[in-house]
Amino acid sequence: MQTSTRDRIVVATARLLQRQGYVGTGIKQIAKESQATLGSIYHFFPGGKEAVAVAAIRHSGREFAALLKDSLDRQPEPSEAVLSCTRELAAGLRESGWVDGCPVTAAALETLGADSELQKACAEALNGWERLVLDKLLGCGFPADDARELATTVISAIEGAEVTAQVNRSEEPLLAAGRQLARLIRSYGIDAARR
Amino acid sequence: MQTSTRDRIVVATARLLQRQGYVGTGIKQIAKESQATLGSIYHFFPGGKEAVAVAAIRHSGREFAALLKDSLDRQPEPSEAVLSCTRELAAGLRESGWVDGCPVTAAALETLGADSELQKACAEALNGWERLVLDKLLGCGFPADDARELATTVISAIEGAEVTAQVNRSEEPLLAAGRQLARLIRSYGIDAARR
DNA sequence: ACAGCTCTAGAACGAACGCTCTACCCAATT
DNA sequence: AATTGGGTAGAGCGTTCGTTCTAGAGCTGT
């Protein structure tokens, strides 16, 4: 067998969570989409729906982290890196028909009240991404305080711009955010050449 | 009569949508929360759940627009206005125990696939807010292109920062975004005194 | 007094929800 | 050859979903 049943369940759930959120995604839909049966799902995830969702969110978190790290490593200049990242996201969004947005936002917003395992998984994913940006900025010589605040803002802005882009079915908000974030980063006057 | 039944339904639904999204909010829960009965709800909103949600989103859209307009009108400098707006949002978020975030994001993310009336209502709310910021910037002498891109970015960033703040149960992301947005706006070197 | 209207009230319906349960398949072990 | 156990399969449980429906309360105009 190419991919294990467990992996199929996680991947399918990740995509469903991204598109319809946690409450909007049913266990039976996961079963159908992943070509697994209820028996298999509850075999691998005795914790039920939430356990599946947690695994899926963690998967998505790692996946986007890899994409982000790629952008950050490829471009020496952090402003350029953010720009190229938003361009990639915009392209992906358009190609998916504006449905494949941030893989954790939808699920995160639905589980804010209760401090569930799922909520923690979403927070960890977000913070992991932020840390990648933070490390890049620190590595480029940004002072710690500025870097921290910038990293938070960059992730938040990309997050929000992706939602805006989805709602308006347009790449523009994401691209605009990329350009403005690049400008903001440049405004600190620290470039790679200076190091 | 203090508040009409119809208004109670709309207001209660708005709060529920803000906290639990569209799928997570049930008609019967709306009935209980708004002290109305199913009969009343379907009397005022023959369109069912979606019609109630559309009215609630429109209500929330107007409500936040008023808050935003207040901030923008009170501060002559747009950077200051954005700063004070994020401060207000941060305070409100903390006071609510991090549950009362953006009133449309949650609902918007769940209705992206289908181009429903609800999805349009969310888009209109977001665009209305963006327009307020845009008008402010234009009024302060920003060139049209810069103003448009800035307005989109400001709304997106605030949107995203609110989510990040909720997930991390901290005001910091919102305040950081406010400071960085203010810096970004200032970087255009157009201040009210110059006019 | 009566008819007509708006609004309230909640029982009842079919569908879908998350989950439990039993039965079965099949490769590895004894 | 028999047994074990990981994995597959899906019927069925109790509950909740959104919606429909009938019944009646309260007021207005005649």
At B131-142, the pLDDT tens digits run 999 999 999 999
Q: Give the residue-averaged pLDDT of B38-52.
A: 97
Q: For position A190, what pLDDT does the model report?
A: 85
Q: Domains of chain B: which residue ranges?
A: 5-188
Residues of A in contact with B183 (CB under 8 A): 184, 187
SS in 3 state form for chain B?
CCCCHHHHHHHHHHHHHHHHCCCCCCHHHHHHHCCCCHHHHHHHCCCCHHHHHHHHHHHHHHHHHHHHHHHHHHCCCHHHHHHHHHHHHHHHHHHCCCCCCCCCHHHHHHCCCCCCHHHHHHHHHHHHHHHHHHHHHHHCCCCHHHHHHHHHHHHHHHHHHHHHHHHHCCCHHHHHHHHHHHHHHHCCCCCHHHC
Per-residue model confidence as pLDDT tens digits over B65-99: 999 999 999 999 999 999 999 999 999 999 999 99
B114-128 pLDDT tens trace:
889 999 999 999 999
Residue B24 to residues A3, A111, B13, Cα–Cα distance (Å): 33, 10, 11
Give the model confidence (pLDDT) of A145-190 as tens digits.
Answer: 999 999 999 999 999 999 999 999 999 999 999 999 999 999 998 8
Q: Which nucleotide is nearest to A25 (CA to C1')?
A: C17
B5 touches strand C (CB under 7 A): yes
pLDDT at B1: 43
CATH code assigned to A60-194: 1.10.357.10
To the question of domain B5-188 being in CATH 3.30.200.20, the answer is no
**What is the phi/psi pair of residue A73, to 5°?**
-75, -35
**Other CB atoms within 10 Å distance of the CB of residue B2:** 5
Of B176, B183, B187, the CB nearest to A152: B176
Which residue of B20, B82, B164, B187 is the best one to mutate when testing the A interface, meaning the one whose CB has the most A CBs within 10 A? B164
Q: Distance, in angstroms, between A6 CA and closest chain B CA?
A: 26
Residue A121 scores a pLDDT above 80: yes
B36 CA, D22 C1': Å apart: 19
Measure CB to CB from residue A184 to each of B113, B166, B184 and give the nearest one: B184
User: ∠ CA(B17), CA(B19), CA(B23), 5° rounding?
Assistant: 50
Q: Residue A195's pLDDT is what? A: 47
- pLDDT of A2 higher than 70: no
Q: What is the DSSP string of A123-177?
A: HHHHHHHHHHHHHHHHHTT--HHHHHHHHHHHHHHHHHHHHHHHHHT-SHHHHHH
For residue B168, list chain A residues with Cβ-Cβ distance below 8 A.
Answer: 123, 126-127
Give the pLDDT mean for B38-46: 97
- Give me the helices (H) in A21-143, please: 27-33, 38-44, 49-74, 78-95, 105-110, 117-139
Q: Give residue A3's pLDDT.
A: 83
Q: What is the pLDDT of residue B115?
A: 85
pLDDT digits (tens, 9 = 90+) for A61-89: 999 999 999 999 999 999 999 999 999 99
Does the pLDDT at position B165 exceed 70?
yes
Band of pLDDT at residue A8, cut at 50, 70 and 90: very high
* Model pLDDT for residues A91-114, shown as the tens digit of each residue: 999 999 999 999 999 999 999 988
CB atoms within 10 A of CB B144: 10
What digits encode the pLDDT tens for the residues A27-47?
999 999 999 999 999 999 999
Q: Residues of B with CB below 8 A from A133's CB? A: none
CA-based nearest distance B97→chain A, Å: 8
How far is it, in rounded angstroms, from Cα A38 to Cα A19?
A: 21
pLDDT at A192: 58
Give phi and psi for A124, each to the nearest 5: -65, -40
The average pLDDT across A11-21 equals 97
State whether the Cα torsion A124-A126-A128-A131 is positive or negative: negative
Q: Which two tokens stand for residue A74?
A: 């490829």
